Amino acid sequence: GENVEQHPSTLSVQEGDSAVIKCTYSDSASNYFPWYKQELGKRPQLIIDIRSNVGEKKDQRIAVTLNKTAKHFSLHITETQPEDSAVYFCAGGSDKIIFGKGTRLHILP
Amino acid sequence: GAGVSQSPSNKVTEKGKDVELRCDPISGHTALYWYRQSLGQGLEFLIYFQGNSAPDKSGLPSDRFSAERTGGSVSTLTIQRTQQEDSAVYLCASSLGTGVNQPQHFGDGTRLSIL
What pLDDT is stored for residue B98 in this prediction?
Answer: 64
What percent of chain A stands above pLDDT 90? 83
Of B41, B45, B106, the CB nearest to A43: B106
Q: Cα dist. B53→B35, B71, B79 in Å? A: 19, 12, 23
Coarse DSSP helix, strand, coil percentages of chain B, rounded to the nearest 5 percent = 5, 45, 50
Shortest Cα distance from B41 to chain A (angstroms)?
7
Task: Report CB contact under 8 Å: B100, A32.
Answer: yes
What pLDDT is stored for residue A16 in this prediction?
Answer: 97
What are the tens digits of pLDDT across the range B77-109? Answer: 999 999 999 999 999 999 987 667 889 999 999
Question: Bridge partners of B19?
Answer: B79
What pLDDT is stored for residue B51 in this prediction?
Answer: 86
Does residue B64 or residue A41 have the better pLDDT?
A: B64
Is beta strand A56-59 parallel, antiparallel or unpaired with respect to A32-38?
Answer: unpaired
Q: Cα dist. A83→A27, A37, A88 in Å? A: 33, 11, 13
Chain A residues whose beta carbon lies within 8 Å of the beta carbon of residue B48: 96
**pLDDT band per the 50, 70, 90 thresholds, residue A81:** very high
Residues 37-76 of A with CB under 8 A from B: 42-46, 49, 51
pLDDT for A65 beyond 70: yes
Q: How far apart are CA A38 and CA B99, in angstroms?
A: 24
Q: What is the mean pLDDT of residues A52-67?
A: 93
Closest Cα partner for A81 from A105, A57, A104?
A105
Concatenating the DSSP letter of every residue in A24-73 gives: EES-TT--EEEEEEE-TTS--EEEEEEETT-SEEEETTEEEEEETTTTEE
Q: For chain B, which residues score pLDDT lower than 50?
A: none
Chain B residues whose beta carbon lies within 8 Å of the beta carbon of residue A34: 103-104
Task: Report CB contact under 8 Å: A96, B103.
Answer: no
Q: What is the mean pLDDT of residues A51-66?
A: 93
Q: What is the mean pLDDT of residues A24-51?
A: 94
pLDDT for A2 beyond 80: no
Shortest Cα distance from B45 to chain A (angstroms)?
7
Q: What is the mean pLDDT of residues A30-49?
A: 94
Q: Cα dist. B17→A54, A95, A104, B46 in Å? A: 49, 34, 34, 20
The residue in chain A having the minimum alpha-carbon distance to the alpha carbon of residue B110 is A43
Q: Does A25 touch chain B (CB under 8 A)?
A: no
Question: Bridge partners of A82?
Answer: none
